[in-house]
Amino acid sequence: MHYPEIKIRPADFAEPAVRALLVDVLGELSERYGGTGDDTPIAEDDFDAPRGAFFVADDGERLVGCAGWRRHGDDAELKRMFTAREMRGRGLARRMLAAIEQSAREAGCRRVILETGDKQPEAVALYISAGYERIDDFGYYAGHDSVLSYAKNL
């Protein structure tokens, strides 16, 4: 099977195509965890430079993945990491994660931190294989039983 070339590019978090993809992101999180999927407050400008960046995976016809980072002190907090179901298993999430790390490094962040959950074993496996280590919970879901927090020094 031939797969289109997928380009990872910066995007505006408010872009309509990004907003449409975020419906899928939150929908999947809602399937796994219930509720809205993620109640973490995110401001429209959290991903604007120099406070952060947002990236999408674009196959030339539509967006098939996304990830962003926003400043959390000296760290970059990973948010909205997602790969469309039909695109999984092709290394796209690893490419997205590398783009986030490079962008955060260039912005002077000392590490990438993230919250994920115990119902996302694929994400946990990716982060561990990419060199992330468990840290104390820090964010919106700190103290919740299902939260798993990780960090990687840049």
Tokens of 55: 């990236």
14-57 pLDDT per residue, tens: 999 999 998 888 778 778 777 776 778 888 899 999 999 999 99
Model confidence at 1, pLDDT cuts 50, 70, 90, reads very low
Q: What is the pLDDT of residue 127?
A: 97
The answer to whether position 129 is within a domain reads: no
Q: What is the pLDDT of residue 4?
A: 63
The answer to whether position 12 is within a domain reads: yes
Q: What is the pLDDT of residue 41?
A: 82
What separation, in Å, do the N-terminal and C-terminal C-alpha atoms of the chain show?
A: 36
The answer to whether position 138 is within a domain reads: no
The answer to whether position 142 is within a domain reads: no
> Domain range spanning residue 42?
7-110
Q: What is the pLDDT of residue 22?
A: 86
The answer to whether position 137 is within a domain reads: no
CA gap 18, 71 in Å, rounded: 20
The answer to whether position 115 is within a domain reads: no
42: domain CATH number is 3.40.630.30
CA separation (Å) from 74 to 23, 59, 108?
30, 33, 8
57-114 pLDDT per residue, tens: 999 999 999 999 999 999 999 999 999 989 999 999 999 999 999 999 999 999 999 9
The answer to whether position 14 is within a domain reads: yes
Q: Say how many domains are in the chain.
A: 1
The answer to whether position 54 is within a domain reads: yes
